[in-house]
Amino acid sequence: MQVLIVLKKDQRTGTLTEGIVKDLLTSAPKHHRGIKVRLEDGQIGRVQKVIEEE
């Protein structure tokens, strides 16, 4: 799944990073700040938007 996440270091600026989800790190189905995921390149952050491919 292709997503836009905000990394911990970018929380103040809101800079988004694009990547493909490798692992879900939040066990709850919802989280008020976004589900935490690990991308295929190893970066960890909270999902801000899912990129839908047609």
- What mean pLDDT is predicted for residues 50-54? 83
pLDDT score at 32: 87
45 vs 51: CA distance, rounded Å: 15
Q: Are 46 and 5 in contact (CB under 8 A)?
A: yes
Give the C-alpha distances (Å, rounded to integers) separating 41 from 18, 37, 38: 11, 11, 8
What share of the chain has pLDDT > 70, as a percent? 98
Domain count, the chain: 1
Range of the domain at 9: 2-50
pLDDT class of 29 with cuts at 50, 70, 90: confident
pLDDT score at 53: 74
